[in-house]
Amino acid sequence: MWCLDPVNSPELIDRLRPHGRHGDFDVAWVGEGWRALVEACHERLVAVFGEYELLDIRQEDGELSFQAFPRRRVQDQPQWSPEESDELSTITDAFRTLSRTVCEWCGATAELREWRTTELTLCDACDARFPDPPVPVRRRQV
């Protein structure tokens, strides 16, 4: 599947869900090949920012985009320091970099397939298996 949801990833989604803004996170918009990356990124974040807020997990330009804040935003209270923000970005950027070599569909060693209408990071076998971009792969919403 091209998403991680409560059906194909119940254990992972159960762990991510409480970090959603309303405690209702339930779909990561990346292929199943990145499940282990999403899981590892979540674990790293929790180790440093126990109450981190999860905004979104999606594929962006063929890379894993794990979008989060160091903690929940509470109105009229100090949020987080630039250092904390940097530390969080360091973690999520590391997984973005890792995702460039992991097939989004099956988890095998992969590379970015730039010729596709929708850029995807896929292994040779999956690249051959999917002649057309899978739909729907959501594009970044601005």
Q: Are 103 and 121 in contact (CB under 8 A)?
A: yes
Q: Residue 2 or 105: which CB sits closer to Zn ion?
A: 105
Q: Are 20 and 72 in contact (CB under 8 A)?
A: no
Assign 70 to helix, strand or coil: coil
Is 13 an interacting residue with respect to Zn ion (CB under 5 A)? no
Smallest distance, Zn ion to C-beta of residue 61, A: 18
Smallest distance, Zn ion to C-beta of residue 136, A: 19
Is 106 an interacting residue with respect to Zn ion (CB under 5 A)? yes
Contacting residue, 25, 34, 69, 105, with Zn ion by CB under 5 A: 105
Question: What CA–CA distances, in Å, run from 37 to 33, 93, 116, 129?
Answer: 8, 12, 23, 22
- Binding residues (CB under 5 A) for Zn ion: these are 103, 105-106, 108, 123, 126
